[in-house]
Amino acid sequence: MIAIIDYDMGNLRSVEKAFERLGSDAQITRDAGVIADASHVVLPGVGAFKDCMGHLEEYGLVEPIKRAVESGKPFLGICLGLQLLFDESLEDGVHKGLGLVKGQVVRFPAPHHTGHSEFKVPHMGWNSIKKEKDSLLLKGIPDGEYFYFVHSYYGAPTDMGVTLTTSDYGVNFTSSVETGNVMACQFHPEKSQRAGLKLLKNFTALRS
């Protein structure tokens, strides 16, 4: 069973529907026991970093998330769910994250700073990925494949060795990470059609 963590911040139903299309048993939940019993855990997210961390703390979900990661079960962060894994975010101040990936969440530079007026913030739409290392999460997904993005901030890892893919949007940024059983993508696989469903199918095939 795949536990999709519910903290009132994210496209939960669209993520659930994507797994249902694959024939997977997925459950939206904020129950610590359900998360502990799940074979896979997904942390989606849309909104402001500070608010999301506040909701995770309010619903008592920080420790269940960390225990799930420590258990070794496959864990997937999506969009803001990737950013929450980092040490801290610089969105509207400095805010502490879950600390599961070393580094900061930073904002795309304004177009006039990059000299590329075509790169509006937020970064919204289809963009390609460049594979930086091999991963079962990306099995059967070609280098240069396109995924759907909606974000103004991105994770900047301290150790680039955790970077799974990069993408270019005025700057070259980390678009997905993998460290042990923890994987996360800045793009939305549930909105990325065939390629996104392939990634989610690969995730469901992973074992502890």
- 119 forms beta bridges with none
Residue range 149-155: mean pLDDT, rounded: 97
- Side chain identity, residue 197: L
Distance CA 183, CA 179 (A): 7
Q: Is residue 58 annotated as a catalytic residue, yes or no?
A: no
Mean pLDDT, all residues of the chain: 95
Residue range 116-143: mean pLDDT, rounded: 93
Q: What is the pLDDT of residue 14?
A: 95
Q: Which of 95, 123, 151, 188 is catalytic?
A: 188
Neighbours of 142 (CB within 10 A): 10
Answer whether residue 4 shows pLDDT above 90: yes
Residue 138: phi and psi, rounded to 5, are -105, 15
Q: Which of 91, 132, 178, 190 is catalytic?
A: 190
Answer whether residue 17 shows pLDDT above 60: yes
pTM of the model: 0.95
Q: What is the pLDDT of residues 58-112, one digit of tens each?
A: 999 999 999 999 999 999 999 999 999 999 999 999 999 999 999 999 999 986 5
List of domains in the chain: 2-205 (3.40.50.880)
Answer whether residue 29 shows pLDDT above 60: yes
**Closest C-alpha among 186, 178, 83 to residue 138:** 178
Distance CA 23, CA 36 (A): 22
Is 115 buried (19+), middle (13-18) or exposed (0-12) by CB count in 10 A?
A: exposed
More confident residue, 111 or 117: 111
Q: Which of 16, 55, 79, 123 is catalytic?
A: 79
Q: Is residue 79 annotated as a catalytic residue, yes or no?
A: yes
Contact at 8 Å (CB) between 169 and 108? yes
Residue range 6-20: mean pLDDT, rounded: 92
Distance of CA 42 to the CA centre of its chain: 9
